[in-house]
Amino acid sequence: MTEKRLGPQTIRLPSAPSILGIGTVSGRKEYLGPIGKYVDVDADQTKLNLSSWEAEERSMLQRAINTVLTKTKMLESNIDYMLMGDLLNQIVTSSYTARENAIPFIGLYGACSTMALSLSVASMLIDGGFATNVIAATGSHFCTAERQYRYPLEMGVQRTASSQWTATGSAALVLSEHRQGLPSITHVTTGRVVDFGITDANNMGAAMAPAAISTLRAHFDETNRAPEYYDLILTGDLGMYGKSIVADELCDEFNEFSSRYTDCGCELFKGDTSVLAGGSGCGCSALYMGKVIKDFELGNVKRVLFVATGALHNPVLINQKESIPGIAHAVAIERE
């Protein structure tokens, strides 16, 4: 075991790479919700009249990148790697966006866990001495996700109560070498794939909750930290049913878990019942990071455990009667 490795799933980052800034772009529904005030660009106000939803999704990701470069006063040439992934087949949103940027590109796939996965690998590349500045970015779009994973929107299929609403939005973060006073990544717990046999593609929360539980347990165990160490423990997009599975399971095991814990999918559209069980998609936890970073700035939080969750299925395997495996990756974000 190396000195950076705390256990089978967790490493610590002695140099604690910092989050220099975040750029976010959201759709109208997200902008009008509780996280709207933390969003940099309201995509609805900057409509480009693009020819497809896929093009819109790419445009949002590119604008999130441009926004964070401007906010952090970085040039493309300052960025050593760009780590991105998304929900579309062959992560085309990320790859086609990367084509517009002369930055070495590492494509990732972690479904809705991509924000934590890209932050994990980005912070390891910096701590390992391979990079000074890295972009970690992701996004999703309600309309592209619906037609790819479910039904054409034009069919107007009725949604089940456990279904979730894919967030339309993108976030890009610049990670850099440690700077005093900025939120910094101190630990990474990489998820194992966990499958509890859920076959209902309209109940992603239940499919992903066991993975979140597995990663949270591994993190607390291997870091020797209790939930009360953190001001906030965030899962990515479990929605209300998935969140209640995690809460039920871990509240008995850990004191003070429930008082710290919430789920980005439950927060993103809070009060909007049209989304049913809550928000989802790569963009869900990514957009919510805008609020988290602002809370660090304001001193509202000092230690956050961010556990983004992903369902790793595709429609072909669902048709072949396979169950839905989940994964959850955790990063501990702390500020002195």
Per-position DSSP letters for 235-301, written without gaps between them: ESS-HHHHHHHHHHHHHHHSTTHHHHEEEHHHHHTTT-GGGTT-EESHHHHHHHHHHHHHHHHTTS-
* Cα 136–Cα 141–Cα 142 angle in degrees, nearest 5: 145
95 in contact with a copy of itself (CB under 8 A): yes
102 in contact with a copy of itself (CB under 8 A): yes
258 in contact with a copy of itself (CB under 8 A): no
Rounded to the nearest angstrom, the gap between the alpha carbon of residue 258 and the centroid of all alpha carbons in its chain is 21
Residue whose CB is less far from a copy of itself, 40 or 237? 237
Please identify, among the stretches 168-176, 184-192, 199-207, 236-244, the one whose residues bind a copy of itself according to the rule CB under 8 A. Answer: 184-192
Pairing of strands 184-189, 10-12: antiparallel
Cβ contact 114:308 at 8 Å: yes
104 in contact with a copy of itself (CB under 8 A): yes
96 in contact with a copy of itself (CB under 8 A): yes
> CB of residue 60 vs a copy of itself: minimum separation in angstroms?
16
> CB of residue 294 vs a copy of itself: minimum separation in angstroms?
29
Q: Quick one: which of 44, 195, 231, 272 contacts a copy of itself (CB under 8 A)? A: 195
Residue whose CB is less far from a copy of itself, 92 or 240? 92
- Binding positions for a copy of itself, 106-145, rule CB under 8 A: 106-111, 117, 120-121, 124-125, 127-132
40 in contact with a copy of itself (CB under 8 A): no
Cβ contact 216:10 at 8 Å: no
Q: Is 194 helix (H, G, I), strand (E, B) or coil?
A: strand
Q: Count other C-beta atoms under 10 Å from residue 40's C-beta.
A: 18
Residue whose CB is less far from a copy of itself, 148 or 244? 148
Residue 213 to residue 220: CA distance in whole angstroms: 11
Per-position DSSP letters for 147-166, written without gaps between them: HHHS--GGG-PPPPTT--EE
332 in contact with a copy of itself (CB under 8 A): no
17 in contact with a copy of itself (CB under 8 A): no
Cβ contact 85:91 at 8 Å: yes
Residue whose CB is less far from a copy of itself, 110 or 278? 110
Q: Is 187 helix (H, G, I), strand (E, B) or coil?
A: strand
What would the x/- binding string for a copy of itself be over residues 141 to 180, using CB under 8 A? -------x--------------------------------
Give the closest residue to 206 by CA, choosing from 176, 174, 162.
Answer: 162
**Contact positions vs a copy of itself (CB under 8 A):** 1-5, 8-9, 11, 51-52, 54-55, 77, 80-81, 85, 87-92, 95-96, 98-99, 101-111, 117, 120-121, 124-125, 127-132, 148, 190-195, 312-317, 320, 322, 325, 327
